[in-house]
Amino acid sequence: MKDEYVIEIPGKVVINGGYLVLNEPNECVCIVPNIKSRIKVSKKISEKTIISIKTNFLDSCVFEYNNSRFIISNFTDIESSMIYCLNLANAFLDVTGIVPANQHIELFINLEDILFSTKKATIKDSIKTGLGSSCVFLIAIVDALLEISMEEREFFDLCIQVNSKISPKSSGCDIGSTLLGNIIYKKHEYTKIRCLNSDYAMILCSFNSSTNTRTMLDFVDLSDHKWKNLNIINNEIIHIFRSSQHLEPEACIRLKKLYKDYLVTLRNISTQIVPEKQYELLLKTFKMPVVGCGVSGSGGEDCVWVIVSKANLIDVYSFLNNNFSYTRVVTDLSGESNLSKLKKLL
């Protein structure tokens, strides 16, 4: 008997609080563009427990369970993305103790174009947008190895535990938003955001380059007093999102000012987080009719974001498209994702 299903997993954009959230009880705001990577999972009976992973890149691998750990069974050159998947599978074993006995689990992971500004033959050689390709692998593998159904909160907690084994410094906000939609997040807790409706769009822009989040985390000193000033602005932004069912004009005006203050303050903390070229263009963008804009997540060369009402989308997009190497418009920011909606039986 063969069991097949599809998971559709969106990316995420952290629009404020990206570093602050690493220190409890600070929070961040995560928005989910409704554009999803598609993962096909197939399970069949096998003499051995095997995981086969293929992607829409050259990245692929086969792992075999050897009575204690998953190991690589096809001894060829293996891409870094597949080493990450192997580590995820073993982290799942460490956390749960669950071994899917006598199963061959096949995953075909079709990573959506929005995760990359430029695609090459392998994931490592491609240029990422910073929207969370690693999280797609994590959720797909945890779900494929899990043999019992879980409630939304239980599955979220499990993914956080597995992620903590791999990336102990991570806040887990990418997992939270990918599973739960648009959220205000602090470590392992969340509140859903309801105020971004169909009137708004997001524009993502970059200069066709990206930054490694782990590298950025290594140099950031969150004990610096400058972060306290940023957190004051961050809390004001979060208050608006938490208290709003709809973004009224007054809230939009307030958010625009706060996001500009946030950008300037973050720039004063580090030019590595807010590079000069992006900074100058974002300041010019604030002169246009936008709700807000800024660097996403850990900043650096990853995509910047702009939220704009659809009524003003064409003019704002035209300006950004003329000044950045890569631009992508997302017209659905409803962010109503959860695992039961993400999974579809074939």
Q: Which CATH number fits domain 200-330: 3.40.50.2000, 1.20.140.10, 3.40.1410.10, 3.30.70.890?
A: 3.30.70.890
**Does the pLDDT of residue 77 top 80, yes or no?**
no
- By the 8 A CB rule, do 201 and 334 touch? no
| CATH class belonging to 2-192+336-345 | alpha beta
pLDDT at 343 (0 to 100): 65
Task: Give residue 250's pLDDT band: very low, low, confident or very high (50, 70, 90).
Answer: very high
Domain ranges for the chain: 2-192+336-345, 200-330
Task: Give residue 117's pLDDT band: very low, low, confident or very high (50, 70, 90).
Answer: very high
Mean pLDDT of the chain: 92
Same fold, 2-192+336-345 and 200-330: no
Integer Cα distance of 218 and 212 in angstroms? 10
Report the b/e string of 187-196 with b at 16+ CB within 10 A.
Answer: bbebeebbbb
pLDDT at 345 (0 to 100): 59
**Does the pLDDT of residue 308 top 50, yes or no?**
yes
Task: Give residue 1's pLDDT band: very low, low, confident or very high (50, 70, 90).
Answer: very low
Question: Which helix (H) or strand (E) covers residue 292, if one does?
Answer: strand 292-295
pLDDT tens-place string over residues 326-336: 999 999 998 76
Integer Cα distance of 32 and 177 in angstroms? 7
